Structure formats: structure tokens, C-alpha cells
Structure 1
Amino acid sequence: MKTILITGASTGIGRATAELFFARGWNVVATMRTPNSAREDGRWLVTRLDVTDPASIESALQAANARFGQIDVLVNNAGYGLVGTFESMDEARIHKQFETNVFGLMRMCRALIPQFRARGEGVLINVASMGGRLAFPFYSVYHATKWAVDGFSESLQFELAPLGIRVKLIEPGAIKTDFYDRSADFVHDRSLTAYNDLVDKGMRRSNAFGARGASPDIVAAAIWKAATDGSARLRYPVGSDARGLLFTRRLLPDGVYRSLIAKQLLG
């Protein structure tokens, strides 16, 4: 029986993924910063893990290995969005965004790779975003982290494939999760009046776009496919918006694409 470890499994994509793999007979290590679960089952382990805290990572892996013997698949799902005007963001907020979305993900990979390398197999699944290959207004630092995850994962695939370790990138479009409300960190200094109208319009339209997003279940299904298809495929766009926008981004010249996005979100 195989074992999957998922970060950020308390809600949204992480929770949906944990439930799907559990329903299909896998051992599940559902990790979160504040453990909370009423389920009692030998195949279900909930444990504390904060990707910004190396000690909690080590403790969670020890608990997982003690319960299940090994981990076969890692899903790096923990993350959040820093949103707003870049000029309003201080160094601490920017560092926190990278610490969670990039360095935390790297810590998890570094912690699991030795285990996978020793066995000559394993799957690293990084939940990125369509925002790792295209961009929208007022998401500059968030996009920077997701573009970093994209480049990191593509390069890492070259290193690990000869060792039997597969690297996967999940690229969701708009998904109905806490990303657009509770999990978002919105920053805008209203005294920077030149931005106010743009921010009001852009965030209203962006949030409306998110409210029409797909269920986290479709991302969980893509993660299942990435974990089990046995292929060397790297990228898994999820949702019609992600597939459509990524195709449009490749097809159109930069200037035309930027004008299209500006018109829809700021025009």
C-alpha cells in the first residue's frame, strides 16, 4: 500500500487531495500547521507541519515513517497569495511569501529526496499555478514565487529523473478555495492615490473571476493522475481557464496578450 504526504491539507486543494487518495485506498499523511481531524483510521495520519519550520518537517516525517514505513509521493500544496500594489509591500511581507511558497517547498523536497533516491523511486508533486507561466495585475510577488517554483521544478526534473524520481507541476486556474479571501494577504496603502481606482477595479474583477472557479476536486484528480500515471510528463494544467489562458499566452505576441489582460481586469 502506498503512502502520500500532503502539506497544507486542512482545507481546499490539500483537503480534497487527502480525501481522494484515502478513498482510493492509500495511506494518507495530512499535514497542517494546526492539526485537526475527527477521523480515526490506521491509514489516516494528521500531524503538524509548517513548511517554514524545519523542526516540524523533521518531526512530521519521523511520524509518517514510523506509522507507514515510507513515503511514496510528496504533494507540496502549502501556500498563500500576497496580493496588492508592490509599492505598498514591505520587506517582511515579501520574505514571508517566498519563505512559504518557495523556500518551504524546497525544504520539503530536500527532506524527501534522500528517501526517494535510496529506493530509486518516488514522486514530487509541486502545486504551482497557471500564474507560474503568465501574470495578472496586483499579483507581482505571488507570481514571482510561482514562476520560481516552475523553474525550480523543471530543472529538478533533469537531476532526479535518472534516479527514478519523477517531478510534477500542477497548474490550477481559478479554484474555489480560501485563496481569494481568508488565505489571501491583501496589501494596499490608500494614501498612494494614483493606484486606488485601478486596485478597486482590478481586485473586484479578479475576485469575481475567482468566485466562478472550479471545485478543488478537479485539482485533486489531476494530482491523482500525476502521482499514478507513471509518465515523465511535467506540467498538468487544471481547469478550462488555465488551459485556455496558457494556450492564448503561447499563441499571442506579448503586447497583444498584455492588452487583452489589461482590458479584462483594468479596462
Structure 2
Amino acid sequence: MQKTIFITGASSGLGKASAKLFHSKGWQVIATMRNPENETELDQLENVILLPLDVTNSEQINTTIQKVTNLYSIDVVMNNAGYGLIGALESLDDEQIHRQITTNLLGVIRVSKAFTPHFRAKKSGVFLNISSTFGLIGFPTCSIYSATKFAVDGFSESMAYELAQFNTQVKVIAPGGMQTDFAVRSMEVGQHDAYAKLTEEVSKGYSAEQIANYSKVEDIAQIVYEAATDNKNQLRYIAGNDANALYKERVKSGAESQVQNIKAMFTF
């Protein structure tokens, strides 16, 4: 029997790569994005349904998901929509902070809440919530981004307990760097003179040379597919060599030791 996945933020990056991969495996894909009329690849694929969805719009979330669950039996929900907000806290205004939290955190919460009755009634389902390495480990200039991703991780763990009785799994995929245009397309950067040197140092991680060393987005999509289909009772999937190296360091040496090491790197 053909399975169906619902994906937010499917217009580019990991969302689009995952949509293509699940489609290639015979799944029906409901790919959502803010402007599906601009999509020129996924709209050419059979069994891919494009729908408009802005995850900052709670009314649209509820209306869209109600329509979807009336028409289809959804097996997997991939909460992928999000973007990066980079900059020292003093460089960010309240509107930027609010928009980041509304997109990266409230979007996941609202989409999950709208789908939960569907999975509860079916007594099956999987939520795949895309977090980040910086949802497990803090990093300078990432305070608000990390706040949202740490929150997604905690939300996911708590929901995994709530929904276990309904045979519904909640899983977190925490990617490291990916070879995408995320740093250009999906990143907002704040500037403050007092943190100029710090911002410059951190920004080296988003250079073209560094991005070339990151994981291919297709490889991270494979981990997403694995999480959806492996039937493992596993909560977190660390995705990418850099992500695994950082997380293993934290596990091996302890969080406090890693914190001191990162502080030393950025103490001028």
C-alpha cells in the first residue's frame, strides 16, 4: 500500500531533496511551501501534490491540514520549514526574534498539533522534526536560532512520550552543515559593531569553501528517509560528519568541557 508524507518547507534544500527521495521510493508526497506557483521541479512529478502553506499562519495551518486529512491518510509528517537568524543578541530587533520563533518553533508546534488527532485516530504515524546541531549544542551568534532548535528538541522528546500510547513516533533529525544555499536564501544576519570580530570569525563557517566540505543535502535526505522507515524506537538522528563529531565530543568529554573549549575559540 502506498504511503504518504506531508512536508513543510519543500521549495528548496532538505525539504525538496526529501520530497524527491520519498517520491523515488514510491511514496505519495504532499509538498507544501509559501509559493507553490513558483515551483518548477516537484510540479512535474506524478504523485506529488503541491499546496500553499505559510507556517507562520496558524489559520492556514489548521485549514490546510483539515482538508488534507479529510482526503488522505498521512503516514509521516516532516516539519522542515525554517530559516537561520544569525547575529549577536544585541544586533537583533524584536521583530526578527519574534519571526524566528514563530517560524522555527511555533510552526512545528502548530503543524504537529493539527496532525495529532489524525495519527491518534489511526493509531499510527511518524513526526520527523528537523532540528540542527545547534539544537543540541549552543554556538556564538546563534542564540535565538538555537533557542528555537533546542525547543524543538525538547518539544519532540515530550511529544514522543505523549504519543507513544497511540503508536505514534516523534523523531528529531539534527543535521550539521549542508551543501545548500541556506546561508544566502534562508539566513538573516544581524550586525553590531561590538561583536564585529566575533561575527567575522563565525561567518567563516558559512563561506563557499567551508560549505563545500559539508554534507550533501541528498545524504541528509537519506537519513530522513531512514528515520521514517527503519521502525526503530529512536528519538534523535544526528546527521552529517560535522554534526556527529561535535555531538560525540560533547558525549565523550561532557557538556561543560565542550562549552569551555568553544568559549576559548572565540575569546579575543
Structure 1 length as normaliser, TM-score? 0.92
Is 1:130 equivalent to 2:133 in the alignment?
yes
**Structure 1: which 5+ residue stretches go unaligned?**
none
Q: State the Cα distance separating 1:61 from its structure 2 match.
A: 2.5
Read off the aligned partner of 2:85 and give its amino acid letter: L
Q: 1:71-130 CA distances to partner (integer Å, 9 max, x unpaired)?
A: 110000000011011111111111111000000100000010000000100001100011
1:240 counterpart letter in structure 2: N
| CA displacement, residues 204-263 of structure 1 (integer Å, 9 cap, x when unaligned) | 245454442111111211111111111210000011111111010122244542343345
Paired position in structure 1 for 2:9: 8
Aligned partners of 2:114 and 2:85: how far apart in 1?
26
The amino acid across from 2:17 in the alignment is A
In the alignment, is the contact (CA less than 8 A) between 1:45 and 1:64 conserved in 2?
no
SS at match of 1:166: strand
For the pair 1:94 / 2:97, whether they are aligned, the reply is: yes
What is the deviation of 1:169?
A: 0.3
Relative to structure 1, the CA distance from residue 178 to residue 59 in structure 2 (aligned partners, 3 Å threshold; closer, same or farther) is farther
1:57 aligns with 2:95: no
Q: Is the contact made by 1:178 and 1:184 (CA closer than 8 Å) also made in structure 2?
A: no
Percent sequence identity is 40
1:176 aligns with one of 179, 195, 219: 179
Residue matched to 1:21: 22
**1:88/1:188 contact within 8 Å kept:** yes
RMSD of the alignment, in Å? 1.9
Map of 1:31 onto structure 2: 32
CA deviations on 1:30-79 (whole Å, 9 max, x unpaired) are: 10001024534551101101111123223432553465x21110000000
Tell me the residue number matched to 2:48: 44
Give the drift of 1:198. Answer: 2.0
Equivalent residue for 2:110?
A: 107
CA distance in structure 2 between the aligned counterparts of 1:160 and 1:206, rounded to whole angstroms = 37
**SS at structure 2 position matched to 1:248:** helix
- The Cα offsets for residues 109-159 of structure 1, whole Å up to 9 and x where unpaired, read as 001000000010000110001111102111111011110001111111111
8 Å CA contact 2:215–2:241 kept in 1: the answer is: no
The one-letter code sitting in structure 2 at the alignment partner of 1:45 is I
Distance 2:239 2:44 in 1: 32
- Structure 1 runs (4+) deviating above 4 angstroms are 262-267
Aligned with residue 77 of structure 2, among 74, 77, 83:
74
What letter corresponds to residue 50 of structure 1 in structure 2?
D
| Residue 61 to residue 166, structure 1, CA distance change in 2 (3 Å) | same
Distance 1:66 1:205 in 2: 44
Residue by residue, what CA displacement relative to the aligned partner does 1:168-196 show, whole Å, maximum 9, x if unpaired?
Answer: 0001011112321221010113xxx3322
- C-alpha contact (below 8 Å) 1:173/1:241 kept by paired residues: yes
Distance 1:42 1:177 in 2: 25
Residues 135, 206 of structure 1: CA spacing in aligned structure 2 closer, same or farther, 3 A cutoff?
A: farther
TM-score (norm 2): 0.91
**In the alignment, residue 9 of structure 1 is paired with which amino acid?**
A
Equivalent-residue separation in structure 2 for 1:257 and 1:7 (angstroms):
33
Q: How many residues align?
A: 263
Give the gaps of 5 or more residues in structure 2.
none
